[in-house]
Amino acid sequence: MPVAVITGASKGLGRALAAALAERGWDLVLGARTADVLKESAGYAGRHGTRVVAVPGDVTDAGHRTELVASARELGGLDLLVNNASALGAEPLVRLDVLPVAGLRAALETNVVAALGLVQEALPLLRQSPAGAVVAVSSDAAAEAYETWGGYGASKAALDHLAAVLAVEEPGLRVWSVDPGDMQTDLYTAAVPNDTDPRPSPESVAPGFLRLLEERPASGRYAAPSLLEIR
């Protein structure tokens, strides 16, 4: 069975992707900081009968990243790495003139530095896979200028560029940076708590990511909503 590592997998998009992949026969290694919530999400994905390993920890910790990849190795290898764990930098989001520098640093550490560290840890296994792939979960804030989204958007723009360069340096892999679009998640609520407009659920967006795995288009940046359109 193919094996995937997903960070930020305790809720939101990470949880939805885990369940969708397990339903299609994938074995999973799931990482997140909150152990009890992660355990519940692992059980939710595991109901499909595949092997699901929960590895609680912070992706900014090198030891945790090593444990994630070691768990994949024990399952037989690694075919997909999903860098989904994200930090906002400020909750709720604030304008750049008052954005704490420490908050920006934290967002960069989680969204960029840790993502690269995990890729580096995972590359030996990904290169051995006949269909190795890396997904960097991005944001439209990486490409568009929205008030208060500057710090978070800058971190995701940096992640996009790392993914683009990785694709050039690792032509044997597929490297996709994916903007999931607006979703109803705890992260969005923390970012903009006063925005009560209805938004798509992560479960409704996950099929866009699955389409990438099924069709394996060229490495590049994609928007999950466009992947859901009938062609």
Chain centre to alpha carbon of residue 97: 29
Surface-to-core class of residue 73, CB atoms within 10 Å of its CB (0-12 exposed, 13-18 middle, 19+ buried): middle
**Whole-Å CA distances, 78 to 18, 37, 54, 102:** 15, 24, 15, 34
**pLDDT the model gives residue 230:** 57
Q: Which amino acid is at 43?
A: G
Q: Is the pLDDT of residue 196 over 60?
A: yes
**pLDDT the model gives residue 231:** 52
Per-residue pLDDT tens over the stretch 142-160: 999 999 999 999 999 999 9
**Average pLDDT over every residue of 134-148:** 97
